Amino acid sequence: MALDRAFLQEPLPTNEAEFKKRIDDGRGRLTLIASEVARLAAGILTEFAVAQRKIKDNKNATEAVADAAQQLQRLVPKRFLTSTPYAQLQHFARYLKAITWRLEKWRADPARDAAKMAELRPQEQRYWRLVAERKGVLDARMQEFRWLLEELRVSFFAQELRTPQPVSIKRLEKAWLQLNS
């Protein structure tokens, strides 16, 4: 990832002079970028471990735990650092913390969690169905919708963590219509 960010940003060089300039510029930034990526990965993996532990410890909240485990699996598959856009990786610690907070809050109000899940589930199901239909080939609008789903989860289950932009079922409906137009 550090190599990609240091040397392979668009637009790619088209001639020898541009290529040499890219190498020189990238060399100077590589160590700094690698440190930034390592720090980001450490934060994500720390929150991942906490969320995983919380999932294992919550045996009573079967539906919430199953959903959280599935969300965790989708967020952090093998090679997630290289397969996830860098801009989105910066939100992963918050997404993972939201999983933990959701499971902590479940005890206080399982009915609220179930109601929010009932609102969220149809949105997610149609998205993942479309991903399957397209055999995993995602365009920019699909990517945007996918991350809106994660933001909606934060908004529903861990509002205190805040979302970078307003998100709601209505906004997802609007994004879905644009996705299919």
Judge if the upstream peptide bond of residue 77 is cis by omega within 30 degrees of 0: no
Structural domains in the chain (count): 1
Look at residue 92 and tell me whether its pLDDT is greater than 90: yes
Between the alpha carbon of residue 108 and those of residues 52, 61, 103, the distances in Å are 20, 11, 10
* pLDDT value, residue 145: 94
Alpha-carbon span 11 to 77, nearest angstrom: 28
Alpha-carbon span 47 to 92, nearest angstrom: 9
Per the structure, the complete domain to which residue 27 belongs is given by 2-179
Tokens of 154: 């934060």
Look at residue 56 and tell me whether its pLDDT is greater than 90: yes
Tokens of 131: 């991903």
* pLDDT value, residue 138: 83
Look at residue 179 and tell me whether its pLDDT is greater than 90: no
Residues sharing a CB contact under 8 Å with residue 58, sequence separation 6 or more, in sequence order: 64, 65, 103, 106
pLDDT averaged over the chain? 93
97-139 pLDDT, tens digit per residue, is 999 999 999 989 999 999 999 999 999 999 999 999 988 788 8
